[in-house]
Amino acid sequence: MPMEALIERIVREGQGIGRGVLKVDSFLNHQIDVALMDEIGRELAGRFAGHSVTKILTVESSGIPVACAVSRAMGYLPVVFAKKAAPNTMVEGVYSTDVKSFTKETVSTIRVSRKYLQPTDRILIIDDFLAYGESAMGLTRLVKNAGAAVAGIGVVIEKQFQGGSGKLKEAGYLVESLAVIRSITDGNIEFI
């Protein structure tokens, strides 16, 4: 079920660019509307209630505010984020994998310290966008490498026409998206 407040905000402030880019930086991934973020957090938390989640995992940086909002709504679960750069403080063992960004046209190595993903964890993966599914699949690989379980994948905005959700569901993952976009064509945004 779509989240009406989010869809209304996308319609009012979102900008469709070309045939696949949605700009929502006025409330989601540059400037953040914290009240809306808390609503998003409660909605995603509700969708994964009963899935025995022990930690929330995202990738830096736009997924972090969403993951924190979900954490608050789930009783302040730990939030872990995969880093795209290797800081000199990350001296212990890490889980890492390469992820392609179609928006930025780059490949990044994302990494998480081994001490923050344990085999006993049930991980909820959270992200702001789901397009081709590369970030989410990369995060699932990190979870598998740790011997942990993926409880599900929660997304604020899914661009269904880019196929990521289908790929994740085909791989057996539960995917919950709050706003699902069928197409973006010449600035026009069509929702499912």
| pTM above threshold 0.85 | yes
For residue 59, tell me if it sits in a domain. yes
Evaluate whether residue 18 is within a structural domain. Answer: no
Task: Please return the burial class of 178, using the count of CB atoms within 10 Å of its CB with bins 0-12, 13-18 and 19+.
Answer: buried
Domain assignment present for residue 171? The answer is yes
Q: What is the pLDDT of residue 186?
A: 84
* 50 inside domain: yes
Is the residue at 19 inside a domain?
no
What distance in Å separates the CA atoms of residue 171 and residue 98, rounded to the nearest whole number?
18
What CA–CA distances, in Å, run from 81 to 60, 133, 139?
6, 17, 10
CA distance 82 to 64: 10
Q: Mean per-residue pLDDT for 112-139?
A: 96
Domain assignment of residue 161, given as a range: 32-182
Cα–Cα distance measured from residue 33 to residue 26, given in angstroms and rounded to the nearest whole number:
8
pLDDT, tens digit, for every residue of 70-121?
999 999 999 999 998 777 676 678 999 999 877 678 899 999 999 999 999 9
CATH number where 155 lies: 3.40.50.2020
pLDDT at 48 over 70: yes
* Structural domain count, the chain: 1
